[in-house]
Structure 1
Amino acid sequence: MNIKTPKKLIEVALPLDAINTAAAREKSIRHGHPSTLHLWWARRPLAAARAVIFAQMVNDPGYQQGSGFRYGVNKEKAAIERERLFKIIEDLVQWENTNNEEVLARARAEIRRSWRETCELNKGHPQAAELFDPERLPASHDPFAGGGAIPLEAQRLGLESYASDLNPVAVTINKAMIEIPPKFAGRPPVGPIPSDQKQQELHQDWSATRGLAEDIRRYGAWMRAEAAKRIGHLYPKVRITEEMAAERPDLKELVDRELTVIAWLWTRTIKCANPACGETMPLLSSFVLSSKEGAEAYLVPSVQRQGQLNLDVSRTFPTELGDPAKGFKRGMSGIFECAHCKTVTTRNYTAEQSLEVGLGSMPTALVCEGKNGRIYLPARYSNGVQAIPDVDLAGLDIKLAENPRDVWCRNFGLLTPSQLFTPRQLYALVTFSSLVDEAIAKCRGDARDAGVPGDESGLEAGGSGANAYAEAVGVYLALAVGKFADNASSLCSWHSGAAHQKIRATFGRQALPMTWDYAEGNPLSDSTGNFFRQIELIQTVCEKSLGNASAEGIAIQADAQSQAISSGKVISTDPPYYDNIGYADLSDYFYVWLRRSLRPVFPALYATLAAPKGEELIAAPYRHGGKEQAEAFFLEGMTRAMHNLAEQAHPAFPVTIYYAFKQSETKGDAGTSSTGWETFLEAVIKAGFGLTGTWPIRTELGNRMVGAGTNALASSIVLVCRKRASDAPTVSRREFIRELNSVLPEALDEMTRGGVNSPVAPVDLSQAIIGPGMAIFSQYAAVLEADGAPMRVKTALQLINRFLGEDDFDHDTQFCLHWFEQQGWAIGKFGEADVLARAKGTSVGGLQVSGVVESSKGQVRLLRWAELPKDWSPETDIRTPEWEALHQMIRALNQDGEFAAGALLARMPARAESIRALAYRLYTLCERKGWAEDARAYNELVAAWSGIEQASADAGIVGSQPQLDI
């Protein structure tokens, strides 16, 4: 007896505009966002995860009619129901509704209603008791849990949530996100109230995770106070003297005051390559300390007698010293000019000195906290630092991964975690790490004194009493130390921007960089890079974003290729993106510190000296002996992992898989392709999945645009997959193309017109159309080429991409399309234009009459939209190709706005569809060519299309659709 699986909403329709708007907006939200719990790379927005899981769980209203609402007699009713579900999603994705119980309750009720419907359909099935219990929702699982966004949102929607990952840092983050909060919800804090906080200032509502969050703050405050006793002497203040004020009149009002130093600024040094000089040369890459208007500050170098280099601080910078933003840097990383003799090093010399001799360092400036902002002082004003004790480097002296792309600092001699920190930073981090252990012991005693119920088992053993609670608090304190480490290495630089002057974190990007000037913060201050700020961020996340789980959560270390956790669960996951990020290599930076504090809590999780790397599913050439071997490793491993999901996932639900489509290449007429994307799709289909949809979800900021030769998309692609039938047939290439020609026109029309979804933007169309195209390809056991060989995914993608590029426009427009592809807006030869025009059934003279080209003196060029006449009349124009109509629409939109464009469209309603189709076609062409500005014009027209249509009385005549050649 077959399982009856109603189509889910995500297999038919999504309110993409609402999801994309919320996901893009979320990128700028920090206060209370789970991403501030601890750094992890390439997290999915919560809004997208929440919407995808909801739509994955909820039945589409048209499923009763079989193949979707289009074929049913209740099309209108289904559309109304679908709009109701859209409204739930639109409310659900808003950041303000993250903890809105009324909104969440509506979503959970809808999920349960769909589940009961599905159970009713399958109540006679032999596995009904096992798989279709109407009183219990299936659990969810993310086998590549990473930063935990998907497991957290599944839990928020009422599903018991399982998160697994190979990486211990990711598992720890997920434990803090989904496992610990519900276990200790509703408990009052046990820690003593800090002396600087009055009892009446505390709220007494300890529901959800408020008590846990308060204890994180209390024991974090205790750690800061204890650290001040132990290492406070290493961070001396600066007393302003009369002598300083004589040099710096702006300090006169501060004489005899002690200023807290919030950052010590340093530069690395090497010996000059010039044998006649041999001085220690600073590798300063900028002299700018502050570019804030009215509060500028610069380092001003001067060489004194005996080769001494002075660095003073001034409000102005001498023009004869050149550009202050360049410092002594004279080229790519590692090329500097000697301050003493002006010799310029080579990068190789700097690297050799770094590796063979080692880099030195010298102080450059102090940043102090003033009454009205930052005060910059020369380093010589420092009171000096007492001798810093040696630290136990156990676990900190492992080798950083030999990853040439993501671990840049190795090129210049920083080879171990311990070498990434100054002696003072190492001592501070070791101190805070040991204080985590002490805070756990203190919390354990306080919890026992408070009578916390439960056994004495630890957290890893599933305990819930005083011991487990203390270890749970310790997990968040250890994560705070990890976050502090991100702001406390010699890879941190000083941000001198006009808006903010602060310490830049180590991971400004997905790599361990090399910095030549670095900033060492004061962990005990109240300013940039301090330790307690990390405690406050984690407390806020715990209180505001992790407190409303309606189900349990479990986080486990497991290899996705062999795990059995997925059995009978709803799967939504975000796998590694081919070779985009070296997660394990980068996470070692945090692993070594978390291990120091959490190995007693999670001995199995932190048993190894470094994060596991051998089985990590990324295509890393340096690990596997080359690019081809790395691709084979990724394909084989990802196929096993996907097969695991296909076999284990709950049969009533599709599997949703995110893929960030970023590493694209442009290859002529083949369209946009990507080795990572093709290899990943190959793995998914080889694993036994068939695709039932692909959705471009906006997960990057909306201001990104295409660059030359690249495809800088603003989206991740969500693949919607179901297990392919075991008896799936094979078809020929001819049959496959015939089916594409039958299905893709309707799919393209629905995507560009809006249909049951919001219209897909041109920037996302080439990815969205993959869904219906690959749904056809992946339903078959194989599509056979003429020689009998199975068609590759790459070939299928090329055929689908070609579909977007062969539209049937009028002859003049066909000429313009091909000329534009060859020449752009540049001038070309009349003879070449004449030959092309004849081939397209037109003439250069006719094109001049159309008003789309200019021709003189043996030369021809296309007219830009800004050159077209503003008084153009479509009613009286005797020859109006779609090219002219489109560019007149762009002119009207750019010069006079949507209303004017709509009024123009109302005068030529029959051209609406061809104009819109041509805009999509030209966007695709410009994207492939890397013509960003031109692509923007076409994208903006389509983005404004709804508003234009509202201003137009008549529009929407369906135009012709493209066909593929067999």
Structure 2
Amino acid sequence: MSGRKKLIEVALPLDAINKASAREKSIRHGHPSTLHLWWARRPLAAARAVIFAQMVDDPSAHPDLFPTEKAQEKERQRLFKIIEDLVLWENTTNEKVLQQARDEIWQSWRYTCAENADHPRAKELFDRHKLPAFHDPFAGGGSLPLEAQRLGLEAYASDLNPVAVLINKAMIEIPPKFAGKLPVNPDSSKEKRLFKKTWEGAAGLAEDVRYYGKWMRDEAEKRIGYLYPKVEITAEMVKERPDLKPYEGKKLTVIAWLWARTVKSPNPAFANVDVPLASTFMLSTKPGKEAYVEPVIENGGYRFTVKVGKPKDAEAAKRGTKLVRANFLCLMSGAPISGDYIKSEGKAGRMGARMMAIVAEGDRGRVYLEPSPEMEAIARQALPMWKPEGDVPARLTGGTCVPYGLQCWGDLFTPRQLVALTTFSDLVQEAREKVKADAIAMSLSDDDKPLAAGGIGATAYSDAVVVYLGFLVDQQTNQSSTICGWNNINQQMIVTFSRQAIPMIWDFAECNVLSTSTGSFWNLLERQVKGIASLSLGYATGKAFQCDATIQIESSGKVVATDPPYYDNIGYADLSDFFYVWLRHSLKPVFPDLFATLAVPKAEELVATSYRHGSKDKAEAFFLEGMTQAMHRLSEQVHPAFPVTIYYAFKQKESKSEAGTTSTGWETFLDAVIRAEFAITGTWPVKTESANKLKADVSALASSIVLVCRQRSKDALITTRRDFITALKMELPDALVHLQRGNIAPVDLAQAAIGPGMAVFTRYAKVLDASGNPMTVREALALINQTLDDALAEQEGDFDADSRWALAWFEQSGFAEGEFGVAETLSKAKNTSVSGMVDAGILVSKGGKVRLIRPDELPVDWDPEKDKRLTAWETVHHLIRSLESGGESVAAALVQKLGSKAETARELCYRLYTICERKKRAAEALSYNALVQSWPEITRLAQEVKSLRPKQATMFEENEE
């Protein structure tokens, strides 16, 4: 059976989903992601919307209820409104909104059951009283299973990675098991608990995590507080720094100690001096609150002082002792220190660290202080009794610190950090005993059955609480390694995994785990408790377990949505060992089977890492074979009434091969999907990154492409290459217009166009070339990209002659000068003239040379309403000038004046971005991408400007007194 057509196979309110998904990236308080870090986690809003639309019938599937297109569209708009409410962050736990969505899912399910009453497996698959369960075989960070559970489905999550499995247990398995339970800690005694009538969902569990987490923090302070002293502001310090006067005589809590790594000077005259490898001396670059380190060379060595205000030599302070990449200058002699020398010193164990500055808590901000010998001595007296073993991955996409001698996990921490982290880790098991004793005292029955064995009594509950406490230790490691930096703009810690790598950090920040500021245990606890409280209200159960996706059988008869690994983008197993070694230390007694191995399983992980498989070709073959098996498991097992949704994001790049723009990651993944006999019935670009990141990095993908797949029909036809191209040319331009109207980022356009293109390709059993051989996925992708280019080029017909000339010139020369004769010849072909374009204000012609005017050269007082030769080219670049100089509000004022002509300018941006990407003009590409990304906000502000403008009185209006 093919199943009723679902909403996701026809239409989605993409703008609302994308807006909510992008917004969610900036939300931390109350978000489940605060439980534990995972890489490339999908937004909850997108997951919720996709699963809902995956399960609800499209109105066209009910011609008896909605016989006309108008009736169907009206019903779609009603469903869209449900989704628009559903994706709002404020409605994540709104029972009224969630129940409305659940009711809609049930309504479609009952229709499906009635229609399939005679199905051979009706009793097994079509029970009108029980929704099918949900399964994600690549569960990762758990967004998809969590949102399926929130929508009322029993959720199953599996992953090969034990860290991911534990995250999913904490999100979908543990909270429903203890939903509605009262907290057991002594502070929530029977008398006090009467004041809170109900403990809905995971609120009681969250309260206990708060209590026992605070106990851990307070107990840690008793044991290791001496390692975290306050700093006293003395009269002598105030004499040197008058700005410290308000703090004289006070003891300030330290937020962080800032260190610079050191190596012996390569200059023989200073061979006994450990010189700093400082990438910057700036502590704060916040306007009006600048602070910096100033090294003072004296007595054959040096010391660090801290100054406030702007440095005299701003460039020198900004660059520290760094030259470029891993090359530095010797502070003592000015001699260069090569990266190779630093590597050899690191591997020989001769790399050290020197305290550069202290960051303390002020009344309303940070106070930067110079280090003291006493402070440095206290840090060095820490003696860790344990440190994590295991090798840091020697190769990682994004960089690794291994070449500099940081080779095992224990090397990534200072002695004081190791003492603190092992203290917290040991306290997890002590807390476990306290929770169990308090639970029994609160009359919670105990069967001595642990959580891992399915227990629900006092033993199991104590196990449940310490899972989250173990996560707190992991979160603390992310804030407490020598890979952490200091953000001198917003004056906060930069976590270990600020990106998906373990790169070398030259000057690092060591946070005060016992403070209440950035990076502290208390700060992390507060965030985690809010995240736990947002979890299950107990309407559906969940189960998470470890399993290889290539052999799993859990998808049988279930709804499936999944987010598989992106070829070689992220080495999940290599990265997660950082957390695994600490989780194993604190939680192995709770989940002995999950932490049975010394490290995360890697051999079976479905990523195409060349260093693991010996070569790029072998890695690709491994990925293709494994992903094909995984897709086959889904194709064979998934519930026949529902499509499978698969999130995928992999940046296409310009290839030197004859195929043009292709991507091995996309090609290999799609090949696996097709080999599993899936056909693509829908594709949706869903934004997963914040707008700020996109504006800063033009190469970053803004979207994941959600592929909607069903088993290909057994009656699928075989077609020819020519007919396939004909179908592409008929369907892809319309799909392109649809994507542009949805304001997809130019950086994502090529990725998004793969979907509708492959939907054409996969509807056929085979596409045969002129020789009768089946077309490969690579060939299909090349044709899709060529058709996309042709469609974009055809859109040039909508532009004025001047803009068409400018496009052709820009592709050839960019904003650089060119010969007048060439420009004149081109102008005749485009039915315009060089002199006319000079008059139009887009071109400079002088001395036999011409060039396009750059956005920053355009006049700021330009008024499109008075422009007698208005062009789309001019409009685009004035909008870019306005956006980059004055922000979205200034650009909005211009859009309001442009009216309908502004939309043509936005369309031109797609063509310009494609040219820039192909020509590797990153700066210009960034501007065009940013304008499109800002377009929704610009148009919204433009509408506000329009609504505020006074209306012109007409002869039919009466003046009001």
Quote the residue 1:525 is aligned against: 515
**2:12 maps to amino acid:** L
Partners of 1:327 and 1:845 in 2: CA distance: 50
> Which residues in structure 2 correspond to 1:583-602 (within 5 Å)?
583-602=572-591
Partners of 2:487 and 2:463 in 1: CA distance: 36
Structure 2 residue 397 is the aligned partner of structure 1 residue 405 = yes
**2:595 maps to amino acid:** Y
Quote the residue 1:319 is aligned against: 312
Task: Please tell me whether the aligned partners of residues 148 and 177 of structure 1 are also in contact (alpha carbons under 8 angstroms).
Answer: yes
Residue 262 of structure 1: which of 225, 242, 255 is its match? 255
Which range moves more in the overlay, 91-100 or 555-564?
A: 555-564
After superposition, the Cα gap between the structure-2 partners of 1:418 and 1:343, relative to the gap in structure 1 and judged at 3 Å, is same
**1:494 maps to amino acid:** W
Task: Please tell me whether the aligned partners of residues 399 and 502 of structure 2 are also in contact (alpha carbons under 8 angstroms).
Answer: yes
How many residues matched?
A: 923
Partners of 1:934 and 1:270 in 2: CA distance: 42
Quote the residue 1:354 is aligned against: 346
Quote the residue 1:897 is aligned against: 894
Structure 2 residue 629 is the aligned partner of structure 1 residue 643 = no
Q: Which runs of 5+ in 2 are unaligned?
A: 883-889, 947-961
Task: Please tell me whether the aligned partners of residues 402 and 622 of structure 1 are also in contact (alpha carbons under 8 angstroms).
Answer: no
> Which residues in structure 2 correspond to 1:734-753 (within 5 Å)?
734-752=722-740
**2:540 maps to amino acid:** A
SS in 2 for 1:186: coil
Residue 782 of structure 1: which of 766, 771, 782 is its match? 766
Task: Please tell me whether the aligned partners of residues 695 and 930 of structure 2 are also in contact (alpha carbons under 8 angstroms).
Answer: no
Superposed CA deviations along residues 376-398 of structure 1, whole A, max 9, x for unmatched, are 3322263642885644447x121
Quote the residue 2:478 is aligned against: 486
CA apart distance, 1:496:
2.6
Task: Please tell me whether the aligned partners of residues 161 and 178 of structure 1 are also in contact (alpha carbons under 8 angstroms).
Answer: yes
Quote the residue 2:711 is aligned against: 723
Superposed CA deviations along residues 733-776 of structure 1, whole A, max 9, x for unmatched, are 01211222333344445445x5xxx5656554434333322111
Partners of 1:658 and 1:181 in 2: CA distance: 26
Partners of 2:251 and 2:917 in 1: CA distance: 58
After superposition, the Cα gap between the structure-2 partners of 1:524 and 1:847, relative to the gap in structure 1 and judged at 3 Å, is closer
After superposition, the Cα gap between the structure-2 partners of 1:329 and 1:203, relative to the gap in structure 1 and judged at 3 Å, is farther
Structure 2 residue 495 is the aligned partner of structure 1 residue 505 = yes
CA apart distance, 1:837:
6.2
Partners of 2:315 and 2:806 in 1: CA distance: 49
Superposed CA deviations along residues 265-305 of structure 1, whole A, max 9, x for unmatched, are 32221111112221221222222233344443332211222
Quote the residue 1:213 is aligned against: 206
Quote the residue 2:91 is aligned against: 97
After superposition, the Cα gap between the structure-2 partners of 1:264 and 1:204, relative to the gap in structure 1 and judged at 3 Å, is farther
Task: Please tell me whether the aligned partners of residues 270 and 280 of structure 1 are also in contact (alpha carbons under 8 angstroms).
Answer: yes
CA apart distance, 1:313:
2.3
CA apart distance, 1:75:
0.3
Task: Please tell me whether the aligned partners of residues 919 and 941 of structure 1 are also in contact (alpha carbons under 8 angstroms).
Answer: no
Which range moves more in the overlay, 854-863 or 531-540?
A: 854-863
Partners of 2:378 and 2:941 in 1: CA distance: 65
Partners of 1:386 and 1:881 in 2: CA distance: 65
After superposition, the Cα gap between the structure-2 partners of 1:895 and 1:93, relative to the gap in structure 1 and judged at 3 Å, is closer
Residue 720 of structure 2: which of 732, 750, 763 is its match? 732
CA apart distance, 1:836:
5.2
CA apart distance, 1:712:
3.2
After superposition, the Cα gap between the structure-2 partners of 1:298 and 1:442, relative to the gap in structure 1 and judged at 3 Å, is same
Task: Please tell me whether the aligned partners of residues 213 and 542 of structure 1 are also in contact (alpha carbons under 8 angstroms).
Answer: yes
Quote the residue 2:7 is aligned against: 9
Which range moves more in the overlay, 8-17 or 289-298?
A: 289-298
Which range moves more in the overlay, 583-592 or 402-411?
A: 402-411
Residue 414 of structure 1: which of 382, 406, 410 is its match? 406
Which range moves more in the overlay, 852-861 or 443-452?
A: 852-861
SS in 2 for 1:769: helix
Task: Please tell me whether the aligned partners of residues 237 and 260 of structure 1 are also in contact (alpha carbons under 8 angstroms).
Answer: yes
Cα RMSD after superposing both structures: 3.6
Superposed CA deviations along residues 782-822 of structure 1, whole A, max 9, x for unmatched, are 21111222212222222222223335465957655434322
Task: Please tell me whether the aligned partners of residues 573 and 658 of structure 1 are also in contact (alpha carbons under 8 angstroms).
Answer: yes
**1:901 maps to amino acid:** L
CA apart distance, 1:678:
2.1
Partners of 2:201 and 2:725 in 1: CA distance: 56
Partners of 2:292 and 2:99 in 1: CA distance: 56
CA apart distance, 1:448:
1.5
> Which residues in structure 2 correspond to 1:156-305 (within 5 Å)?
156-193=150-187, 199=192, 203-251=196-244, 254-278=247-271, 279-305=273-299
Which range moves more in the overlay, 895-904 or 595-604?
A: 895-904
After superposition, the Cα gap between the structure-2 partners of 1:834 and 1:299, relative to the gap in structure 1 and judged at 3 Å, is closer
Quote the residue 1:773 is aligned against: 757
Residue 133 of structure 1: which of 105, 116, 127 is its match? 127
Task: Please tell me whether the aligned partners of residues 380 and 415 of structure 2 are also in contact (alpha carbons under 8 angstroms).
Answer: no
Partners of 1:604 and 1:524 in 2: CA distance: 33
Residue 603 of structure 1: which of 592, 608, 611 is its match? 592
Quote the residue 1:693 is aligned against: 682
CA apart distance, 1:414:
0.6
Partners of 2:877 and 2:335 in 1: CA distance: 56
**Structure 2-normalised TM-score?**
0.88
After superposition, the Cα gap between the structure-2 partners of 1:176 and 1:253, relative to the gap in structure 1 and judged at 3 Å, is same
SS in 2 for 1:615: coil
Quote the residue 1:88 is aligned against: 82
Superposed CA deviations along residues 232-259 of structure 1, whole A, max 9, x for unmatched, are 2222233444444444444455454433
After superposition, the Cα gap between the structure-2 partners of 1:73 and 1:321, relative to the gap in structure 1 and judged at 3 Å, is closer
**1:266 maps to amino acid:** W
Residue 40 of structure 1: which of 38, 45, 53 is its match? 38
Quote the residue 2:813 is aligned against: 823
Task: Please tell me whether the aligned partners of residues 699 and 747 of structure 2 are also in contact (alpha carbons under 8 angstroms).
Answer: no
SS in 2 for 1:276: helix
Partners of 2:880 and 2:242 in 1: CA distance: 58
Superposed CA deviations along residues 917-947 of structure 1, whole A, max 9, x for unmatched, are 6665445434544432663597379767899
Task: Please tell me whether the aligned partners of residues 155 and 172 of structure 2 are also in contact (alpha carbons under 8 angstroms).
Answer: yes
Task: Please tell me whether the aligned partners of residues 257 and 509 of structure 2 are also in contact (alpha carbons under 8 angstroms).
Answer: yes
Superposed CA deviations along residues 818-874 of structure 1, whole A, max 9, x for unmatched, are 343223344433554566567x58575898799687778755656789699968899
Task: Please tell me whether the aligned partners of residues 652 and 750 of structure 2 are also in contact (alpha carbons under 8 angstroms).
Answer: no
CA apart distance, 1:228:
1.6
**2:488 maps to amino acid:** S
Quote the residue 2:957 is aligned against: none
Quote the residue 1:963 is aligned against: none
SS in 1 for 2:646: strand
After superposition, the Cα gap between the structure-2 partners of 1:663 and 1:609, relative to the gap in structure 1 and judged at 3 Å, is farther
SS in 1 for 2:603: coil
CA apart distance, 1:110:
0.5
Partners of 1:166 and 1:589 in 2: CA distance: 16
Task: Please tell me whether the aligned partners of residues 4 and 112 of structure 2 are also in contact (alpha carbons under 8 angstroms).
Answer: yes
Superposed CA deviations along residues 541-571 of structure 1, whole A, max 9, x for unmatched, are 111x204242101111111111111111111
Task: Please tell me whether the aligned partners of residues 745 and 933 of structure 2 are also in contact (alpha carbons under 8 angstroms).
Answer: no
SS in 2 for 1:463: coil
**2:45 maps to amino acid:** A
Superposed CA deviations along residues 666-708 of structure 1, whole A, max 9, x for unmatched, are 6699675322122222221122211111111111112455899
Partners of 1:320 and 1:772 in 2: CA distance: 55
> Which residues in structure 2 correspond to 1:814-893 (within 5 Å)?
817-833=807-823, 842=831
After superposition, the Cα gap between the structure-2 partners of 1:872 and 1:937, relative to the gap in structure 1 and judged at 3 Å, is farther
Partners of 2:727 and 2:329 in 1: CA distance: 65
> Which residues in structure 2 correspond to 1:621-636 (within 5 Å)?
621-636=610-625
**1:575 maps to amino acid:** P
**Structure 1-normalised TM-score?**
0.88
Superposed CA deviations along residues 3-43 of structure 1, whole A, max 9, x for unmatched, are 25111111100111101111111111111111111111111
> Which residues in structure 2 correspond to 1:457-606 (within 5 Å)?
457-497=449-489, 500-543=490-533, 545-606=534-595
Structure 2 residue 700 is the aligned partner of structure 1 residue 712 = yes
**Percent of residue pairs bearing the same amino acid type:** 52
Partners of 1:13 and 1:179 in 2: CA distance: 33
Residue 329 of structure 1: which of 322, 339, 348 is its match? 322
After superposition, the Cα gap between the structure-2 partners of 1:844 and 1:856, relative to the gap in structure 1 and judged at 3 Å, is farther
Quote the residue 1:23 is aligned against: 21
Structure 2 residue 448 is the aligned partner of structure 1 residue 456 = yes
SS in 2 for 1:314: strand
